[in-house]
Amino acid sequence: MNYLSSLFVSSIPAEAAEAQQKSFVTYTLSSFTPLHTEKISINSPGCNGYTLSRPPEPPTIILHESRNVLSASGTTGNRTWEASLHLSNYLCTNPSLIQGHSILELGAGTGYISILCSKYLGASHVIATDGSDDVLSSLSTNFYLNQLQDSSVIGAREVKWGQALISGEHAQWNAGREIDVVLGADLTYDVRVVPALVATFGDIFDLYPKVKILYAGTVRNPETFEVFLGACKRNQFVAEDIDFEILEAGRQEGPFYDDRVPIRLCRIVRP
């Protein structure tokens, strides 16, 4: 009653201000299959010593993010977008793509994908990258919320698309450590960022010729996505579509996202 009374006497915030408010969001990874089952001993009369096995509850990822914001501080990285959730379902269904591999995420935003790979999918090392200082500063909070603040497996660093990964000051990028898989989600929201993004793909291929790039893009505007595919083709990259359905809303058990929004999942390769 005290809390309800305080709400009654509080002024209603402006819609723009309310959209910027961050909240704690818990995502359930229902498509992730844990590697072990839970043993339950029954000690009731007549069943003493009998043991049941049941799978543990699906794991979760907790993030501090702005659920209603579209863009803030010049970035769209303050919330987790549909394509990230779809990509996470694909990775949970195919964990061998990540297990034991070194991962680089472009445009990490809230860090959802990077946290998934480091905490649950068995990546050997994960680098969450973004070009926004505001986003990078928020990643440490989300690492902490998922008990990764002291982890040597995951880290964050700045990568601005279109800028050379290696400068004259640095003989090696990432201290010479290999990158096996590059992940990205919802990076092609604006045609103006596409050339820089694809240029960064090229730099990564130059450094790591055997790298695999997996990209999930929400197709809000088909023309924008075609610009991305065209840029890949001009740079002699091949975008191979991966067939992975979006579950209907009634079949989703977490994470939950709009099943009416088309999302394309692609494998980017350089022959």
Tokens 């694909």 correspond to: 90
Question: What span, in angstroms and rounded, lies between the C-alpha atoms of 186 and 49?
Answer: 52
Confidence at residue 17, expressed as pLDDT on a 0 to 100 scale: 62
**pLDDT at residue number 35:** 52
142, 165, 167, 176, 235 from 171: Cα distances, Å? 31, 10, 7, 9, 25
Give me the residue label for tokens 């818990």. Answer: 26
How far apart, in Å, are the Cα atoms of 248 and each of 100, 161, 236? 32, 34, 35
pTM, two decimal places: 0.85
For 232, phi and psi rounded to 5 degrees? -65, -45
The ranges assigned to domains in the chain are: 67-269
First to last CA, the chain: 65
Query: DSSP letter string over 25-60?
Result: EEEE-TT---S--EEEEE-STT-TTEEEEEPPPPPE
Q: Is the separation of the CB atoms in 181 and 104 below 8 Å?
A: yes
- CATH class as words, domain 67-269: alpha beta
> Quick one: pLDDT at residue 66?
83
List the one residue out of 115, 106, 109 whose CA is nearest residue 79.
Answer: 109
pLDDT digits (tens), the chain, 271 positions: 999 999 899 887 776 666 567 889 999 999 987 655 555 555 656 555 666 655 667 899 999 998 765 544 444 557 899 999 999 999 999 999 999 999 999 999 999 999 999 999 999 999 999 999 989 999 999 999 999 999 999 999 999 999 988 755 566 788 788 999 999 999 998 999 999 999 999 999 999 999 999 999 999 889 999 999 999 999 999 999 999 999 999 999 999 999 998 999 999 999 8
* Token reading at 23: 């909240």
How far apart, in whole angstroms, are the C-alpha atoms of residue 259 and residue 243? 15
CA dihedral 103, 104, 109, 113 (to 10 degrees): -20
Dist. CA 191–CA 157, nearest whole Å = 24
